[in-house]
Amino acid sequence: FYFVGDCVLSVTPREKTNVMELNFQQNMSDAMAVLPKLSTGLDVNVRFTGVTDFEYTPECIVFDLLDIPLYHGWLVDPQSPEIVAAVGKLSYNQLVEKIIDYKHSAESSRVSEGLVAEQFLESTATQLSYHGLCELNTTAKEGEMSVFFRNNHFSTMIKHKGDLYLLVTDQGFLQEERVVWESLHNVEGDGNFCDSDFRLCHPPQRTASGAQLQPSVQEQQRQIDQDYLVAVSLQQQQGDAPGPLSDLELARQLQQEEYQQQQEQQEQQQQQQGQGSQQARRREKDSDCVVL
């Protein structure tokens, strides 16, 4: 967050009036107080009326000072008047309090309204609605870098050729060099993965334990390149010229190296089996002893 702090301190007020100057200084102070929270996450409170509607908190001041758009897609569909009436212009925290209050009310109309609001939260548990997704596509500008809030997480978002993409930051894709963006085109969260040029790519499938099921073409090519480098290294160690190897020479050297590795593994297994046999014989001798 030190880098973000430097960026905040470099911001200057747009207007030089006394009122604006005082307001800017207060915002700057509030923003600097929020920065240490970046290591654990910021607390923002969405409103269900628009993709840029949030409760104005010190956390939101950071985005305003740095002129970074902050979006969400958790919106009420205006074609559902009953839900619109139940949710209104409330923030998420306010809506939760309303649901608790109304469900324990003695008035049946308030109980019904509370149930409608609760059903809305349950049906949009992914914190993204299709109406919100349409509004995101309309509001976000082409090529604009922004921050997208969903499921209590912040993601880098960009609009490229009319489509929305989220930067892939999951730890599970750390070794997948080509996976950079994931498309945001539905509320289920099963977007398509793309490389840095937004070209479709398919990461290799993995088991529950993380093992790769089938190597991709890129993984196979990477392995071929590594094998070639190993063969060249072997050739240089033997004092040969560092020129390119023929396919036959490369195959022979790789086969020889693999054979040596197999021999070493067999020797290790034999040693382990020998140690196991000695221990077994010792146990047999001990069992033959009888105390009279």
Clarify whether residues 149 and 223 are in a common domain: no
What is the Cα gyration radius of the chain? 31
Element (H, E) at 289: none
251 assigned to some structural domain: yes
Q: Are 71 and 139 in contact (CB under 8 A)?
A: yes
User: Tell me, what's the pLDDT at 241?
Assistant: 46
243 assigned to some structural domain: yes
Clarify whether residues 181 and 128 are in a common domain: yes
Clarify whether residues 251 and 153 are in a common domain: no
Model pTM? Answer: 0.62
Give the range with max mean pLDDT: 3-7, 195-199, 222-226, 285-289. 195-199
User: Tell me, what's the pLDDT at 242?
Assistant: 47
Clarify whether residues 155 and 236 are in a common domain: no
What interhelical angle do 108-123 and 92-103 show, nearest 10?
A: 140
Per-residue pLDDT reduced to its tens digit, 70-91: 999 999 999 999 999 999 999 9
The length of the chain, given as a count of residues: 292
Residue 230 lies in domain: 214-260
Over pLDDT 90: what percentage of the chain? 39
70 assigned to some structural domain: yes
CA-to-CA distance for 126 and 190, rounded, in angstroms? 12
221 assigned to some structural domain: yes
Clarify whether residues 140 and 189 are in a common domain: yes
- Residue 127 DSSP class: S
Q: Domains in the chain: how many in total?
A: 2
User: Tell me, what's the pLDDT at 70?
Assistant: 93
Give the range with max mean pLDDT: 4-8, 207-211, 227-231. 4-8
Clarify whether residues 244 and 150 are in a common domain: no
Please tell me whether residue 93 adopts helix, strand or coil conformation. helix
C-alpha dihedral over 164, 170, 176, 181, to 10 degrees?
10
Clarify whether residues 65 and 157 are in a common domain: yes
Bin 58: left if φ > 0, else alpha if -120 < ψ < 50, else beta. Answer: alpha
Clarify whether residues 228 and 187 are in a common domain: no
3 assigned to some structural domain: no
CA-to-CA distance for 111 and 100, rounded, in angstroms? 10
Q: Are 139 and 161 in contact (CB under 8 A)?
A: no
As beta bridge partners, residue 194 has 181, 200
Clarify whether residues 47 and 147 are in a common domain: yes
Looking at 194, 229, 249, which one is the last position of a domain?
194
Clarify whether residues 140 and 254 are in a common domain: no
Please tell me whether residue 117 adopts helix, strand or coil conformation. helix
Clarify whether residues 139 and 169 are in a common domain: yes
| Alpha-carbon distances, residue 215 vs 206, 222, 223, 248 (angstroms) | 10, 10, 10, 25
225 assigned to some structural domain: yes
59 assigned to some structural domain: yes
208 assigned to some structural domain: no
Clarify whether residues 188 and 222 are in a common domain: no
- Residue 166: pLDDT over 80: yes
- Residue 68: pLDDT over 60: yes
* Strand pairing category for 70-72 and 145-150: parallel
